[in-house]
Amino acid sequence: MNFGQVLKLHRIKLKMTQAEVASDICSIPHLSKIENGSKEVNKETLFLLLKKVGLKYEDIIIDQKLAVEKIKHLSKEIYFCNYNEAKTILDNIRLKEEQYVSYGLGPKIYLEMCRYFIHENNIESANKYYKLLTKMKKSLLPEELESLTFIQGLLALKQGNLIESLRYFNKCLDYNSLDQGDVQYYFGLVSGRTGNFGEAIEAAIKAKGLFMQTYNYKRINHVKLLLGITLAELGTYNKAELYFKEVIYNSKILKDKEIESIASHNYGLILKKKGDYKLAKEILNESLNFHKDNNKQERYLDNLTELAEIYIIEKEDISNSLIEEILLLSDLHKKDEYFHIFYIYKLLLKKEYEKMEEYILKEAIPYFELHNQKKHLIFCYRKLEKYCIDSFTLSEIKSLFKNSISLFE
């Protein structure tokens, strides 16, 4: 603990000068060095200086222990995803932030603040405390450096830097100071998003076992959602469907509406693939309404595009206003794949086939080829074959069919 910093903090709060505190105890330069931590102080002098600002050595030690317990409580609430309780504790800590820092607890507070704000999608605040941590990196303890690596992985994930995120989480697998349930979960999550489905499932199963040991039911539910999404990516729809139904049921018990809505969205996708459009629309609409009510615009957009595609498949009337809303949100959130698909639908509904052909060849296909999005490339080729074939030469038609068929290989 930096007693000099504690002394300085309370001196300033009392609006006392260094001369007033140092009077009859030590010189002003001596006090200044004690306050900035550049000089050791003997206990007798420290007791006298603390008494001048109304403090007792024993009370400071007790306060520090209480502060440590408060940080542990915050960490526990974040671990168990009790974010309302975590916010209450965090608000209390932030009121006494300088005091906690003076107790030498700055890094521990900032690490927990980073975790909390990342989970709340408040990346601006998370970055603020991350920058503070990087400035004090040389003075961090080994376990604090390991926690910082985990934070770097979370930030990279939120920013969409999957490869960088995977690198950080891979490092964290060797850190015993970290909760390995969280590490395995995020390693599995990013592995799945980068197409390493085997590693994703293996990590998810390990995470599930670790969370079961601590009875962390919300995190167990998150792992089951991850397993469902990964199995769906592998085309194992029946098993994935079972996971999604279980997550939806568990989320209702746990009162976790956000996870319930994400599971509902993914369950709706499976129903859509199976051709059960009636139930798919019902499930997707529930998810859509939750995200709309809670201003989760990107997830709202995900549901909206799936519902719009069902309307198109069923040949229901789809309004221009719905497509324009999708295009607007896609542009706002940089969801380029959605923008390209629904701009093609817009031209298709207007029967502007020449414009559609030009757009597909010059904009959509190059984008989907660059990002290796085979499903959307197939969509583009099918639209060209169905609506624009008359404008192609024989060699162009052969090339078109060759490219289309190669996507199925």
- Look at residues 65, 117, 63 and name the one whose alpha carbon lies nearest to residue 90: 117
Of all residues in the chain, the percent with pLDDT exceeding 70 is 95
Quote the pLDDT of residue 397: 53
For residue 145, the SS3 value is helix
Does pLDDT of 86 surpass 50? Answer: yes
Q: Retrieve residue 388's tokens.
A: 């624009």
Do 365 and 388 touch, CB atoms closer than 8 A? no
Report how far residue 3's alpha carbon sits from residue 31's, in angstroms, rounded to the nearest whole number: 12
CA-CA-CA-CA torsion for 84, 107, 114, 128, nearest 10 degrees? 120
Residue with the bigger pLDDT between 98 and 80: it is 80
Least reliable range by pLDDT among 285-299, 316-330, 338-352, 362-376: 316-330
Tell me which residue of 307, 334, 333, 313 sits closest to 323, measured CA to CA.
307
What average pLDDT does the structure give for the chain? 89
Q: Say if residues 284 and 266 touch (Cβ distance below 8 Å).
A: no
**Rounded Cα–Cα distance for residues 284 and 272 (Å):** 10
51: pLDDT confidence band, cut at 50, 70 and 90? Answer: confident
Span 64-88, mean pLDDT?
A: 93
State the pLDDT at residue 394.
Answer: 52
What mean pLDDT comes out for the span 285-306? 92
pLDDT of 409 > 60? The answer is no
| Type of residue at 273 | K
So what's the pLDDT on residue 328? 94
- CATH topology classification for 3-55: 434 Repressor (Amino-terminal Domain) (1.10.260)
Q: Max Cα separation, the chain?
A: 102
Mean pLDDT of 271-276: 94
Q: Quote the pTM value.
A: 0.81
DSSP H helices in 56-135 = 57-79, 83-95, 97-102, 106-119, 123-135
Q: To the nearest 5 percent, what fractions of the chain are helix, strand and coil?
A: 80, 0, 20
Please answer whether residues 226 and 238 qualify as being in contact, where contact means their C-beta atoms are separated by less than 8 angstroms: no
Q: Is residue 384 pLDDT above 90, yes or no?
A: no
Give per-residue pLDDT as tens, 127-143. 999 999 998 888 788 99
Q: What is the pLDDT of residue 408?
A: 47
Q: Which residue has the higher pLDDT, 229 or 104?
A: 229
Using a pLDDT cut of 90, give the percent of the chain over it: 61
Residue 1 vs residue 208, higher pLDDT? 208
In the chain the first and final C-alpha atoms are separated, in Å, by 65
Residue 53: per-residue pLDDT: 83
Q: What is the per-residue pLDDT across 221-273, written as a single tens digit (0 to 9) for each? A: 999 999 999 999 999 999 999 999 999 999 999 999 999 999 999 999 999 99
In the predicted structure, residue 406 carries a pLDDT above the cut 80 = no
Q: How does residue 395 score in pLDDT terms, banded at 50, 70 and 90? A: low
Higher pLDDT, 281 or 405: 281
Model confidence pLDDT, tens digit, residues 22-46: 888 889 898 888 887 777 788 888 8
Distance CA 6, CA 10 (A): 6
